[in-house]
Structure 1
Amino acid sequence: MAARLRPADPALVREATERLASGSHERADLKLLVKHYLAVLEDRAPGRSVEVRVPPYAAVQVIEGVRHTRGTPPAVVETDALTWIALATGALAWIDALTHARASASGERTDLTPYLPLT
């Protein structure tokens, strides 16, 4: 089993967020922010019924319900790094991400509205 993600140091999150906002970010900033916000989601929505994927950076299983252990999970949310960060910070609403195909969600319990934003 993969190691559980941990929220990043707040100073590092702030610095990466500032670089992202200024357009001078690097891949390492995206990685830090994606993993940070996935860790926060994992803390706020414990469980293993929905897999949230942000390739190529990380994936977590969250939200109570039927536990997923092998193969393709019954419920999956997938998005890119910039969309995930926008969702996590409240810059993008969940419904807008789905409507504009910036995120995909299939299966039960994949509505992340109750958990977003994470800031």
Structure 2
Amino acid sequence: MPAHLRLATPEDVAAALAGRTRADLKLLTKHYMAVLNERAPGHSVEVRVPPFAAVQVIPGVRHTRGTPPAVVEMDAETWIALARGDVSWSEAEAAGRVRASGQRADLTPYLPLT
């Protein structure tokens, strides 16, 4: 797992969900990115949630330089909602809350993470 990502304790997740400050969003983003990294290890899709985290996941061609073949980007609130199952991938994409390009850029098989 990338050093910048870590799983949070259930108590920290619950507190962050109740608070939703910038620090809480950062904790939740990194926590759910760490969960995704554990469940879908690989390097073929880069998932970005600026400014908090980015991770390369999903098995396939390893990406080492430049723009990856598949990129998914969204804000922290959208990422947390997707990870928790509060919104579906298709709903978020249709609402313009997710920007996804390239093969394997659909995270539906891996969501929700809870």
TM-score range, shorter chain: over 0.9
- CA shift, 1:96, in A, is 0.7
Find the residue that maps to 1:47 and give its secondary structure: strand
Counterpart of 2:104, as a letter, is R
SS in structure 1 opposite 2:92? helix
Extract structure 1 runs of 4+ deviating beyond 2 A: none
- Within 5 Å, which residues of 2 pair with 1:1-119? 3=3, 5-19=5-19, 25-119=20-114
Aligned-residue sequence identity (percent) comes to 68
User: Relative to total residues, which structure has the larger strand share, 1 or 2?
Assistant: 2
Spell out, residue by residue over 1:38-72, the C-alpha distance to the aligned partner (whole angstroms, 9 max, x if none): 00000000100000000000000000000000111
* Aligned residues: CA RMSD: 1.0
Unpaired runs of 5+ in structure 1?
A: 20-24
Residues matched between the structures, number: 113
1-side partners of 2:63 and 2:37: how far apart?
15
